[in-house]
Structure 1
């Protein structure tokens, strides 16, 4: 009896160690994927923020002329302004998002059925909400740093930005300004992104395996997407999700940056009021969807690189051996 109990304890310990290792690997895979994708589009991220919030130096420029103006007015390195804060934020954000998606997908799959479309959408939405809740203050800090123009700096680094916002703008809650529209936008965006990726991935693997798949590197008999197919799946997923959630992304940015300029203070008073103010002042095309063209330019490769890197990391770390059923 004693030996049996010891054997059970050993099995439990091995299972716990295996689960812990899986979670750590999953967090690493997600974090690396997020860092790669965000660094890829960092210059487009910065010009998007400058255009969304009508920075006085760049309001009259378009995407490519704006990028050229940043280099001319500031420097080439200025294209990546705020990317340090972005990396600090995006590693835990992406790690939590991808890992929690796998958790929610398994949990909801056991309740709603493994192939449930509702389950996939809900898993993506919950994963996005979970990740953004933990990392939102870093997004606010990154936006403030990216919005600054050389020669007119208000903040000097991540710690100084956080301290200044907390001390001058009403405490810790100021770091969460724009959080509500972010959550409202995250539900359709993350839900549709993960849902579309999983759906397109499954379609490619099962319908066009000769074109879009290859044998798994592990001796499991499974198949995985080729790298070009991963990029296509991610790009299509990101493009569709952005169309739905973009006005709330604009609202979030206007709220985050409202206190940096007295002229934009009217945009910092609640989600619905800010949304309505943006519509009344700037309209639909130049307001709610301002910067949408650049968002496609950045979102499609960003999501493509993110999902592709994550899938490759899963295969490298032996977390994924083939097609999901």
Structure 2
């Protein structure tokens, strides 16, 4: 691969990944908002299930309430998804020589490393989004820039922008790795054994790709498997991020998980909101991988250079 082609491929992958991430997050933004309210036991919504809860958000805050914090999320998601997909492609290329071609180990490792890379680059924006999404009646935070400045000035300095980073990294390691791995395995199986679920690539390169429904199913399976293993760390992350808003002292991952378990148990605490997370994670991952695959075809990079 020439230097020019390598840079061109990376840039197009960055664009494809960013668009895919924004499409996926916008598709599940209402459930994402309610999941945050549910995870941290917001007093106004803690007694609702997913469907009644979404209706309650509309009644109390209007339809725009379903997308509260989504602007901050888009600012974060585009670079996050773009970095993750670019990093995945690069890590997969770098690790491939060290693993047998008969194994998929390099894919799960590459997915995990890509997830960590993306998190480290964009975590403060995820914290901002959580702060904005948690607000209901009062407006302590007034936008992305104001929230960042307020956190640094009043909540512990620059390091406070990374509150909850440890459970986030512990969550993303298995989550990203398993999501990419499961998707790739399902995709390879369908391409080999289910020809009726394939079609020629839109870029007319001769590459065979999955149809949109098949891609969505493979992505959904990847999302379901990944969520099962990483969810407790996601709950801990949100509680640590929002500890100031709730006037609770959550010092670190161990203390946070212990406090959640003592106060609410397993199903009502550590795994609280898991059902809504399946509702959101499965379509999110499905849309993300599918849009990414379509963008690669449109940008003529469906076949790596």
1:164 alignment partner in structure 2: 150
Q: Matched residues in 2 for 1:42 and 1:113: separation?
A: 40
1:191 alignment partner in structure 2: 177
Where structure 2 has 5 or more consecutive residues not aligned to the other structure, the ranges are none
Q: CA deviation at 1:181?
A: 0.5
Where structure 1 has 5 or more consecutive residues not aligned to the other structure, the ranges are 1-13
2:109 alignment partner in structure 1: 122
Give the alignment partner of residue 259 of structure 1, picking from 241, 244, 253.
244
Q: Secondary structure at the match of 1:214?
A: strand
- Work out whether residues 207 and 302 of structure 2, in 8 Å CA contact, stay in contact via their aligned partners in 1: no
Aligned length: 304
Q: Secondary structure at the match of 1:204?
A: helix
- Return the TM-score normalized by structure 2: 0.97
Q: Matched residues in 2 for 1:58 and 1:223: separation?
A: 47
Which moved further from structure 2: 111-120 or 91-100? 111-120
- Work out whether residues 172 and 230 of structure 2, in 8 Å CA contact, stay in contact via their aligned partners in 1: yes
- Return the TM-score normalized by structure 1: 0.91
- Work out whether residues 109 and 115 of structure 1, in 8 Å CA contact, stay in contact via their aligned partners in 2: no
Q: CA RMSD in A?
A: 1.3
Larger CA Rg, structure 1 vs 2: 1
1:4 alignment partner in structure 2: none
- Work out whether residues 220 and 283 of structure 2, in 8 Å CA contact, stay in contact via their aligned partners in 1: yes
- Work out whether residues 235 and 303 of structure 1, in 8 Å CA contact, stay in contact via their aligned partners in 2: yes
- The reply to whether residue 63 of structure 1 matches residue 50 of structure 2 is yes
- The one of the two structures with greater contact order (alpha-carbon pairs below 8 A, sep at least 6) is 2
- Work out whether residues 48 and 294 of structure 1, in 8 Å CA contact, stay in contact via their aligned partners in 2: yes
Q: Matched residues in 2 for 1:120 and 1:145: separation?
A: 35
Q: Secondary structure at the match of 1:269?
A: coil
Give the alignment partner of residue 208 of structure 1, picking from 182, 194, 197.
194
Q: Matched residues in 1 for 2:268 and 2:142: separation?
A: 31
Q: CA deviation at 1:214?
A: 1.0
